[in-house]
Amino acid sequence: MFLKPRLFRLARMFMPAFLLVSLAVPVSAQSFPAAEQDEIRAIVRDYILENPEIITEALNLLEVRQKEMAEAARLDAVTNMQAQIFDSANQIVLGNPDGDVTMVEFFDYNCGFCKRAHMDMMALIEADPNLRFVLKEFPVLGEGSVEAARVSIAVSELAPEKFEEFHLQLLLGKGQANAAKAIKVAIGLGINRADLEAATKTDRAAETIQEVYMLADALGLTGTPSYVVGKQILFGAVGADQLRDSVEKARDQKS
């Protein structure tokens, strides 16, 4: 049985679309009678066998569209979650607290790339007196990272004036970061051990980490370091030059 001319022309004209539909959507959901669905499916199958490269084309198109959708979702999250991203009570602010541009870094104390990126952060803060830099605990590299994050949050609560030095020593110190190592660093800075251990068990520590996990999920962040600057999201240790460019871009967009 031959396909009706109208359906044949549609199938040939929109073959990539028919292919995507046939891969992703049940045939019964298509707006054709059952008999015509079978005919279209046969035409699509024959066309694919004759032109197998169309599968790669369709999958590439699907990948592009998925990336576009993911990027749109991230931009929506940045727009809709401004307060949690840039002004949460559960974060540490370095640089100029009244700066005109804020850069947010999601980091893990056991992340080797974060260790290298630390110097980029310090160079940016030193060179740009109007940069506000926010640190968010994003422990993704095991239980030791979670333990270190809890101690870090406790330090920021008990002795915020000592946090920057604590952060530097723990992040750049040798070996695996965990509770024991983080507590040792904090005690070395004069913070009381009993107070510190009590603070690690508070709701604030758990809520801070949970909030960052929620933000990371909404922003599509899967690793550290990751950055948010204005409406830009940067993945990985991209280097000081790219970070600086993102700050200038955000500044230009505000002016």
> Could you read off the pLDDT of 169-219 as tens digits, one per residue?
999 999 999 999 999 999 999 999 999 999 988 888 899 999 999 999 999
Q: Which residues pair with 95 in a beta bridge?
A: 132
Quickly list H helices, the chain.
Answer: 5-13, 15-24, 34-50, 53-80, 82-86, 112-127, 143-158, 163-172, 179-188, 193-200, 203-219, 240-254
3-class SS of residue 107: strand
Least confident piece of the model among 22-26, 55-59, 130-134, 169-173? 22-26
Mean pLDDT calculated for residue range 129-138: 96
Segment 44-93, tens digit of pLDDT: 788 788 888 877 887 888 777 777 777 777 777 678 888 999 999 888 99
More confident residue, 89 or 247: 247
Q: Which residues pair with 131 in a beta bridge?
A: 101
More confident residue, 162 or 72: 162
Q: What is the mean pLDDT of the chain?
A: 85
- 140 vs 36: CA distance, rounded Å: 51
Mean pLDDT calculated for residue range 147-172: 95
Q: Does the pLDDT value for residue 34 go beyond 80?
A: no
Predicted confidence at residue 13, as pLDDT, reads 46
Closest CA to 213 of 156, 146, 164: 146
* Residue 67 and residue 75 in contact, taking contact as beta carbons nearer than 8 Å: no
Query: Does the reported pTM lie above 0.85?
Result: no
Predicted confidence at residue 43, as pLDDT, reads 82
Predicted confidence at residue 254, as pLDDT, reads 81
Q: Does the pLDDT value for residue 4 go beyond 70?
A: no
Please report the domains of the chain, with CATH numbers, ordered by start residue.
Answer: 5-51 (no CATH), 82-254 (3.40.30.10)
pLDDT band of 28, cuts 50, 70, 90: very low
- 16 vs 176: CA distance, rounded Å: 51
Predicted confidence at residue 31, as pLDDT, reads 65
Predicted confidence at residue 40, as pLDDT, reads 79
Question: Both tokens of residue 192?
Answer: 């009381």
Predicted confidence at residue 202, as pLDDT, reads 86
- The CA-CA-CA angle for residues 78, 82, 88, to 5°, reads 125
More confident residue, 139 or 62: 139
Question: Both tokens of residue 136?
Answer: 């968010």
